[in-house]
Amino acid sequence: MSSQAVDLSVSIGKLKLKNPVIPAAGTFGYGEEFANFVDINELGAVIVKGTGLYPRLGSFEHRFLEIPGGSLCTIGLQGVGVEVFIKEKLPYLRRFSTPVIVNIVGDDIDEFAQVAEILSRAEGVAGLEVNISCPNVEKGGMHFGVDPEATFEVVRAIRNNTDLTVIPKLTPNVTDITIFAKVCEEAGADAISLINGLVGMAIDINTRRSKLGKNLTGGVTGPCIKPIALRMVWQVVHTVSIPVIGIGGITGAEDALEFLVAGATAIEIGTYNLIEPKVTIKTVQGIKQYLIDRGINSVNEIIGSMVLS
């Protein structure tokens, strides 16, 4: 089979992705930061940093810690705010044929709804990933994502304010993630992405203080969370009928394919962008090669193909 014959395209709501590989929010800046490493036209979509109604400075210092198999970090939704994003960051992304998904944040439902409305009017935004899962902020973020009623309310408010593809991003810091996935579907979500970081801690035994300073806790991300993320994605795929985007510890094509086989329609790569900035492109190539080697015409034949017996 010639490489041209392989179809990597997938659909997420109204979005047509050239391939299922997307950089995860907060680990790819606003795209331009990776210009020396990645041709954005080669990605399935781009997801930019969490964006709220106003600029946010983020957490206190001591934000990022390398741990065995990943990272423990608390960025705290630092971001430029929606007006600056539209004026200064979006024009760069408009040059590419790749759909732009904005990861949106809010202190309350009203902020989420307003940001959704503003972005719906901006030329060049294709979708909204709704961050109701940030483990590192007091207000907003995970505060919504651990309460099914609040999850429903925020997704419904956004749905009522936009025709863009709406993708709530779930937190793993709950007992039964399927409840939250179902609630998002009922509220009108077009797809679901999961997972964000797991709340974690590290202590310096000499000072007996948190290694993340005054922040105390942070989100555990990277390869060490992959088995948990994969299990949750698999559970959610079997709960909802909308597409699921798998996130958590992906370092290349082999990891990505595990999520696709489990039933994810697309995947996001986060922490590994900070280790290998070309990981997204290498993952696209690796998925393509896997299909070519096995004579499979379309990535859609792999999605949800897990053998259970």
Ligand X SMILES: Cc1cc2nc3c(=O)[nH]c(=O)nc-3n(C[C@H](O)[C@H](O)[C@H](O)COP(=O)(O)O)c2cc1C
Which residue, 6 or 23, is less far from ligand X as judged by CB? 23
User: Of 19 and 27, which CB lies nearer to ligand X in the complex structure?
Assistant: 27
- Contact pick of 19, 59, 103, 171 for ligand X (by CB under 6 A): 103
Query: Of 6, 10, 12, 24, which one interacts with ligand X (CB under 6 A)?
Result: 24
Q: How far is the CB of 297 from ligand X (least distance, A)?
A: 28
Site residues for ligand X, 231-250, by CB under 6 A, read 247-250
Q: Quick one: DSSP state of residue 8?
A: -
**Near ligand X by CB under 6 A, which window of 2-10, 21-29, 85-93, 236-244?**
21-29
- The residue range among 107-115, 220-228, 235-243, 288-296 that interacts with ligand X, by the rule CB under 6 A, is 220-228
Instruction: Give 72's Cβ-side CA count (13 Å radius).
Output: 17
In the shown chain, the binding pattern of residues 54 to 73 toward ligand X, with x for contact by CB under 6 A and - for none, equals -----------------x-x
Nearer to ligand X, 24 or 128 (CB): 24
- Residue numbers 185-214 binding ligand X by CB under 6 A: 196-197
CA 118 to chain centre: 21
Euclidean distance between CA atoms 79 and 134, whole angstroms: 13
How near is the Cβ of 21 to ligand X at its closest, in Å? 12
| Cβ neighbours, 10 Å, residue 208 | 7
Asked if 221 touches ligand X (CB under 6 A), the answer is yes
* Inter-CA distances, 102 with 79, 86, 129, Å: 12, 11, 6
Q: How far is the CB of 296 from ligand X (least distance, A)?
A: 25
Tokens at 56, concatenated: 């946010």
Q: Contact between 131 and ligand X (CB under 6 A)?
A: yes
Q: Which residue is it, tokens 């190539």?
A: 285
Cα distance between residue 146 and residue 170, in whole Å: 9
Binding region for ligand X (CB under 6 A) out of 9-17, 263-271, 275-283, 287-295 = 263-271
Q: Does 50 bind ligand X (CB under 6 A)?
A: yes
Nearer to ligand X, 134 or 157 (CB): 134
Could you tell me the sign of the dihedral formed by the alpha carbons of 282, 283, 286, 291, in that order? Answer: negative
Q: Which amino acid is at 141?
A: G
- Measured from the CB atom, the residue of 212 and 250 that comes closer to ligand X is 250
**What string of H, E and C letters represents the secondary structure of 156-204?**
HHHHHHCCCEEEEECCCCCCCHHHHHHHHHHCCCCCEEECCCEEEECEE
How far apart are CB 292 and ligand X at their closest, in Å?
Answer: 26
Closest residue to ligand X in the complex (CB):
26
In terms of DSSP bridges, do strands 21-23 and 244-247 run parallel, antiparallel, or are they unpaired?
unpaired
Alpha helices (H) along 68-192? 82-84, 90-93, 109-121, 142-145, 148-161, 177-186
Q: How far is the CB of 134 from ligand X (least distance, A)?
A: 6
d(CA 307, CA 309): 6
27 binds ligand X (CB under 6 A): yes
Minimum CB separation of residue 128 from ligand X in Å reads 11
Q: How many CB atoms lie within 10 A of CB 87?
A: 11
134 catalytic per annotation: yes
Separation of alpha carbons 101 and 46, rounded Å:
6
Catalytic (active-site) positions: 134
**Residues in touch with ligand X (CB under 6 A):** 24-27, 49-50, 71, 73, 75, 77, 103, 131, 134, 169, 196-197, 221-222, 225, 247-250, 269-272
